[in-house]
Structure 1
Amino acid sequence: MIRFFAAASIDGTTVVHDPAVGSNHLPPQPVPLGRVALDERQVTAWPEADPARLRPSAPLSMCWSPIVRCNLSCPHCLDDKTVRESTSTERQTLAGHIAVSGVLGVDISGGEPLLLGDLPHLARAIREHGRAVVSCTTNGWHLARRAEELTGALDAVRVSLDGATEATHDTWRGEGSFQRAVTGIRAAVRAGLRVQLQMVLMRSTHREAQSLLDLAAQLGAGGVTFLQMLPIGDGASIAAEQMLTDDQAGDTFSALDIPDGIRVRLRTRGSADGFTVLRADGYAWRNTGAATGITAFIQVTGPQDLRLPTVRSGS
């Protein structure tokens, strides 16, 4: 599949960011800088970059959560629901700051980003300088009705599924959420969007990891990212009961039989350490301490404010 990636030169080293998987790669041959169309199979074969060794001035990738509202109430949600949401004008200003910050990949999350009427405009504003690629992470409930509209605005869509079955997923996300997500995934694939499934690994769900890979292949998704649960937000109250160690998550991951054409990634808590998040109120923070806490709060008033101190492996 030919799709868009973002490439930049950092102290003479070229790095390519994948907006679907969230990974960073080192191409063995020269590639154009900025937004660049590449063969996904080729990028997959390139070695992954360690951002901590590159030491970029800005994060290679970040999450922007411009909305707190959500139609679901997931017990493992890490979002701070007390945060004030930015106005439409403030969101456009923040999108402009992100666009010129040097960040290669921006994942628009929430809350539920598909509740934002201006989501396509925000994504295009970030992309308009020709530097960054943009994805969004969604629960999929509204994806079917918005898939066509998002084609051409987003470079990838990440859909959260907490199990490969309706029973497991709906236990965590509410009745009907599995079927709505699956319907949305099919609509997004038909519309030509690159879809990546995302599963939070928990003690009660990780045994369905293989079945989720098989489901991804059946639905036409491009891959699955397995995320270690973070003990932040609502998830802090169930962390002791549900969190796997990174070693346990690694054992689950290494046992997978990966279908042809499916991209898989495991994001451990260790690799999420240092990841940058821009909140709905315009303040930025980083994960710290193996992604078990938060540090470096700063109000973003310009692109320079996204260059938070202590760029670590998850950036």
Structure 2
Amino acid sequence: MIRTFAAALVAGTTVAHDPAVGTNHLPPRSIPTGRVALDDQQVAAWPEPAPGQLTPTVPFSMCWSPIVRCNLTCPQCLDDKGVRESTPAERQELAGHIARSGVLGVDLSGGEPLLLRDLPDLARAIRDAGTMAVSCTTNGWHLARRAPELVGAVDAVRVSLDGATEHTHDTWRGPDSYRRAIAGIRAAVDEGLRVQLQMVLMRANRHEAQDLLHRAAQLGAGGVTFLQMLPIGDGAALADQQMLTDDQARDLVADLTVPTGIRVRLRTRDSADGFTVLRADGYAWRNTGGATAITALIPITGPDDLRSPAA
């Protein structure tokens, strides 16, 4: 499949960012910078930079949570629900700061971003700058209704599924959340959007990892990202009971049989260290301590506030 990636020169080396999977790759040949159409299977075969191999002056990618509100109450949620939400005008201003920051990829998350009427406008404001790729992470509840609005606004949609079965997923996310997410995935795929499923790995759902890969293939999704649980926010209360070690997660993913055409990624806590998150109130943090804590908050008043070195 030919889809959109974002590429830039970092210390003389070209880096391509995958907005669906969230990975960065080193092309073996010259490619244009900015938003560029590439074959996703070829990009998947390109190597990823080794830790410390490159020293960017801006994060390769970041998460922006422009909304605090969510229609679900997941116990493993890492969001800070006590912060103020920016006004529509403030959100547009933040989108402009991100668009001019030099970041390769931004994921619009939350809360639940599809509760925002202006979400497509925010995504376009970033995308139209022509230098970065944009994704959206959603619980899928409203995706079937809003998928047509996302076409031409985002380059990929990431849908959270905490199990391959209705029982497991709804245990964590609430009644009817699995059915609504599946309907949303199908609608997004039918609209031609690139969909990546995301599972927060826990002791309670790791037995369904293999089945989730098969479910992704059946639904027409492009892949599955397994996210190591972070002991931040509400998730801190579940850490002792539910967290896997990074080594346990690596062993689990290494033993999976991957269907043809499905792209699998494991985001360990170690790899999430240093990741940048912009909150709904316009303050940013970075994960620290192996993604078990966060740095002091930084107010984002311009693109330069996002241009400090990051892992």
TM-score computed with the length of structure 1 as normaliser: 0.98
For the 8 Å contact 2:114–2:142, the answer to whether it is kept is yes
For the 8 Å contact 1:140–1:181, the answer to whether it is kept is yes
CA distance in 2, matches of 1:268, 1:67: 25
After superposition, what is the alpha-carbon deviation per residue over 1:186-228, rounded to whole angstroms, capped at 9, x for unaligned?
0000000000000000000011000000000000000000000
Once the two structures are TM-superposed, the CA of residue 11 in structure 1 deviates from its matched residue by 1.4
1:210 aligned partner: 210
Structure 2 residues without counterparts, runs of 5 or longer: none
After superposition, what is the alpha-carbon deviation per residue over 1:108-164, rounded to whole angstroms, capped at 9, x for unaligned?
000000000000000010011110100000000000000011011000000000000
Once the two structures are TM-superposed, the CA of residue 49 in structure 1 deviates from its matched residue by 1.8
Q: Does 2:111 align with 1:129?
A: no
The two structures, once aligned, show a CA RMSD in angstroms of 0.8
2:234 aligned partner: 234
CA distance in 1, matches of 2:46, 2:6: 14
Once the two structures are TM-superposed, the CA of residue 301 in structure 1 deviates from its matched residue by 0.1
CA distance in 2, matches of 1:261, 1:40: 10
1:261 aligned partner: 261
Once the two structures are TM-superposed, the CA of residue 308 in structure 1 deviates from its matched residue by 3.5
Q: Does 2:20 align with 1:20?
A: yes
2:55 aligned partner: 55
Q: What letter matches 1:202 in structure 2?
A: M
For the 8 Å contact 1:163–1:169, the answer to whether it is kept is yes
1:7 aligned partner: 7
CA distance in 1, matches of 2:96, 2:50: 27
Once the two structures are TM-superposed, the CA of residue 240 in structure 1 deviates from its matched residue by 0.5
Secondary structure of 1:52's aligned partner: coil
1:163 aligned partner: 163
Q: What letter matches 1:176 in structure 2?
A: D
Q: What letter matches 1:194 in structure 2?
A: R
Q: Structure 1 residues 50, 87: CA separation in 2 closer, same or farther (over 3 Å shift)?
A: farther
Q: Does 2:102 align with 1:102?
A: yes
CA distance in 2, matches of 1:11, 1:290: 25
CA distance in 2, matches of 1:143, 1:50: 35
CA distance in 1, matches of 2:162, 2:108: 19
1:89 aligned partner: 89
1:190 aligned partner: 190
Q: Does 2:181 align with 1:181?
A: yes
Q: What letter matches 2:128 in structure 1?
A: E
CA distance in 2, matches of 1:230, 1:257: 26
Once the two structures are TM-superposed, the CA of residue 54 in structure 1 deviates from its matched residue by 1.1
1:286 aligned partner: 286
Q: What letter matches 1:144 in structure 2?
A: A
After superposition, what is the alpha-carbon deviation per residue over 1:49-105, rounded to whole angstroms, capped at 9, x for unaligned?
246321111100000001000000000000000010000000000000000100000
Secondary structure of 2:94's aligned partner: helix
After superposition, what is the alpha-carbon deviation per residue over 1:261-299, rounded to whole angstroms, capped at 9, x for unaligned?
000000000000000000000001000000000004210
Secondary structure of 1:183's aligned partner: helix
Q: What letter matches 2:33 in structure 1?
A: L
CA distance in 2, matches of 1:302, 1:49: 28
Secondary structure of 2:125's aligned partner: helix
For the 8 Å contact 2:68–2:85, the answer to whether it is kept is yes
Q: Does 2:152 align with 1:152?
A: yes
For the 8 Å contact 1:20–1:195, the answer to whether it is kept is yes
CA distance in 2, matches of 1:221, 1:296: 37
For the 8 Å contact 1:51–1:60, the answer to whether it is kept is no
2:306 aligned partner: 306
Q: What letter matches 2:110 in structure 1?
A: G
For these two proteins, the number of residue pairs brought into alignment is 311
TM-score computed with the length of structure 2 as normaliser: 0.99
Q: What letter matches 1:34 in structure 2?
A: G
Q: Which runs of 4+ in 1 moved over 6 A?
A: none
CA distance in 2, matches of 1:124, 1:50: 32
CA distance in 1, matches of 2:47, 2:200: 25
CA distance in 1, matches of 2:32, 2:238: 45
CA distance in 1, matches of 2:50, 2:271: 10
CA distance in 2, matches of 1:102, 1:216: 32
| 1:56-75 correspondence to structure 2 within 5 Å | 56-75=56-75
Structure 1 residues without counterparts, runs of 5 or longer: none
Percent identical pairs in the alignment equals 75
Q: Does 2:46 align with 1:46?
A: yes
